[in-house]
């Protein structure tokens, strides 16, 4: 296997900056390079696809459309829940991130869109749903995954999860 270029099944270390609407939203400058296991949906599909074949040291600007990123904004992805169902000591604020378990026991992330004394309206859209994502990426390392990483389907660099 040629380990000189990004390809499915290799762990890629990348430096990146994410820009949405002209604003830097995320960058690896703080946490160091992000590692991901290519071909395992660790990063948004549009970015991964564009990175296949890149060499170490190569950088690239990639524009990812919503459907290749975090999805289109779904106007139906809202839920009203009675205030009483949430912990009474929870300080509600607009934009607050909540972990919600759905009927299937799956964990979902929701954000408080609005609330009053009776009800809380939750938004299940990803904050970047509907957004065009501009990435500047640079490949800084490539390696074979460990057996454990392959087993889990993602790279284990540290506690830096996306």
Range of the domain at 97: 78-123
In total, how many domains does the chain have?
2
pLDDT digits (tens, 9 = 90+) for 14-33: 999 999 999 999 999 988 99
With respect to residue 2, please indicate whether it lies within any of the assigned structural domains.
Answer: no
With respect to residue 3, please indicate whether it lies within any of the assigned structural domains.
Answer: no
Q: Which of 44, 42, 36, 41 is nearest to 6 (CA)?
A: 36
Q: How far apart are CA 145 and CA 152, in angstroms?
A: 11
pLDDT digits (tens, 9 = 90+) for 133-150: 999 999 999 999 999 999
Q: What is the pTM of this model?
A: 0.81
């Amino acid at each position: 296997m040629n380990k000189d270029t990004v390809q499915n099944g290799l762990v890629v270390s990348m430096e990146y900056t994410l820009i949405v609407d002209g604003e830097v939203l995320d960058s690896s400058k703080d946490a160091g390079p992000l590692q991901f296991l290519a071909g395992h949906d660790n990063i948004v599909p549009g970015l991964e696809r564009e990175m296949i074949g890149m060499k170490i040291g190569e950088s690239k600007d990639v524009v990812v459309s919503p459907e290749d990123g975090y999805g289109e904004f779904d106007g139906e992805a809202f839920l009203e829940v009675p205030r009483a169902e949430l912990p009474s000591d929870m300080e509600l604020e607009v934009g607050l991130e909540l972990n919600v378990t759905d009927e299937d026991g799956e964990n979902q992330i929701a954000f408080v869109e609005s609330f009053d004394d009776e009800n809380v309206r939750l938004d299940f859209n990803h904050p970047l749903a509907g957004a065009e994502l501009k990435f500047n990426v640079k490949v800084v390392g490539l390696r074979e995954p460990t057996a454990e990483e392959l087993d889990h389907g993602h790279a284990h660099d540290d506690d830096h999860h996306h």
